[in-house]
Structure formats: C-alpha cells, structure tokens
Structure 1
C-alpha cells in the first residue's frame, strides 16, 4: 500500500502529485497492460531480441 504523509501546510495537489509518482514507480499499470492479452513466450523473446539489436545499433552509432 502506498502511503503519502501530508507535510505541515502542504497543498493537497502536491501530495497527490507525489502519490501519482510513487504509484507510477511501482509498475502496476504497466503490468496490467501486459496481462490484458496473452503473448506467447516466443513472441516475447523475439521482441526482446529486436530491442537488444536496436539498442546495440544506437550505441554503435553513438561511438562512431
């Protein structure tokens, strides 16, 4: 459970913003979206490999 303590004289909007940031860091929304549809393990592996190739190409382009 995420707990956000209000500081003395703190605006409620600021506290809400801190709550949203903490909630985003937990990754709950990302996981819910991933669970909406089943992905085969082979598809997940293929995406992971494609991402690795892309990142590697970016790093090589940056070095040159």
Structure 2
C-alpha cells in the first residue's frame, strides 16, 4: 500500500504529484499492460537479446 504523508497546510496537488510518482515507481501499470497479451517465450528471449545488444552498443559508444 502506498502511503503519502501530507504535512499541515500542504497543497493537495503536491500530495497527488508525490502519490503519482510513487505509483509509477511500483510498476503496477507496466505489469498490467504486459499481462494483457501472451508473448511466446521465444519472442521474449529474442527481444531480451536484442535489448542486450543495444545496451552493449550504447556502452561502447560512451567509452
């Protein structure tokens, strides 16, 4: 459960913004979208491999 402490006299908009940030970090929405459709294990593995290759290329460019 996400708890956002609100200080005395604090604006409700600021408290909502804190809540939204904490909720984003939990990754609930991302997980729900991922579960809406089934991806074959071979597709998941291929995408993970492509992402790893991309990350390695980006790291080499930085060096």
CA separation in 2, counterparts of 1:10 and 1:31?
32
Query: Hey, what does 1:13 align to over in structure 2?
Result: 13
TM-score of the superposed pair, with normalisation by structure 1: 0.92
Aligned residue pair count: 63
User: Whole-Å Cα distance in 2 between the matches of residues 25 and 61 of structure 1?
Assistant: 29
CA distance in structure 2 between the partners assigned to 1:34 and 1:10 by the alignment: 36
Matches within 5 A, 1:1-64: 1-63=1-63
Unpaired runs of 5+ in structure 2? none
CA-atom RMSD in angstroms:
0.8
Question: Any gaps of 5 or more consecutive residues in structure 1?
Answer: none
C-alpha separation in 1, matches of 2:25 and 2:42: 28
Offset, 1:61:
1.8
